[in-house]
Structure 1
Amino acid sequence: MSTELPDRLSSDPRSPHFNGELLGRGIGIRFNGQEKTNVEEYCVSEGWIRVPAGPAKDRFGNPMTIKLKGTVEPYLKEA
């Protein structure tokens, strides 16, 4: 498997941008220079991440998320 990370990745298995094998290897996200550990989805080209909005859930039991815009830098975590 190559070490090139996709432009967009989601942790939701229902998303077309989900990649379980890559997520299993461990992905880290730097957002505006700070390490983020609670990212649900990211897009490098559009410059945004989705993070949970506290303990709130939608009507299907999924976490409510907010979109934050800024500089997104994904990387593979060391094994």
Structure 2
Amino acid sequence: MDSTTPSPDASDASAAPADRPALPDRLSVDPRSPHHVAAVFQHDVGIRFNGKDRFDVEEYCLSEGWIRVPAGKTLDRKGRPLTIKLKGQVEAFYR
């Protein structure tokens, strides 16, 4: 009986993440970017960079290990923040 009890719990646990889309390898917050996935942003996404949670990430790539963050308050000529690329260990997760 103990082996049947975890099965419903496991299916309930897998059902909760099933309503969320899988996190892509590369994701951008800019809706004009080809790497923007609107369905992912309906949920709260977290980024951990080199072991610390970051809240200012504009774009990330898991396979290449980089994130783009704003470079201070500087804006480009179109009014978007200038970004810099930081390399390191990147983890994406749903909160």
Paired AA for residue 54 in structure 1 = G
In structure 2, runs of 5+ residues without a counterpart are 1-18
2:42 corresponds, among 10, 16, 24, to 24
Hey, what's the Cα distance between the residues in 1 that align with 2:29 and 2:60? 9
CA deviations over 1:10-69 (Å, ceiling 9, x no partner) = 000000000112112111000000000000000000000000001000001000000000
Count of aligned residue pairs for this structure pair: 77
2:63 corresponds, among 4, 28, 45, to 45
The TM-score normalised by the length of structure 1 is 0.92
Residue aligning to 1:61: 79
1:12 corresponds, among 21, 30, 37, to 30
Structure with the largest fraction of strand: 1
The TM-score normalised by the length of structure 2 is 0.77
Q: What is the percentage of aligned positions where both structures have the same residue?
A: 58
Q: Is the 8 A contact 2:20 2:40 kept in 1?
A: no
Residue aligning to 1:74: 92
In structure 1, runs of 5+ residues without a counterpart are none
Structure whose alpha-carbon radius of gyration is higher: 2
RMSD: 1.1
SS of structure 1 residue aligned to 2:46: strand
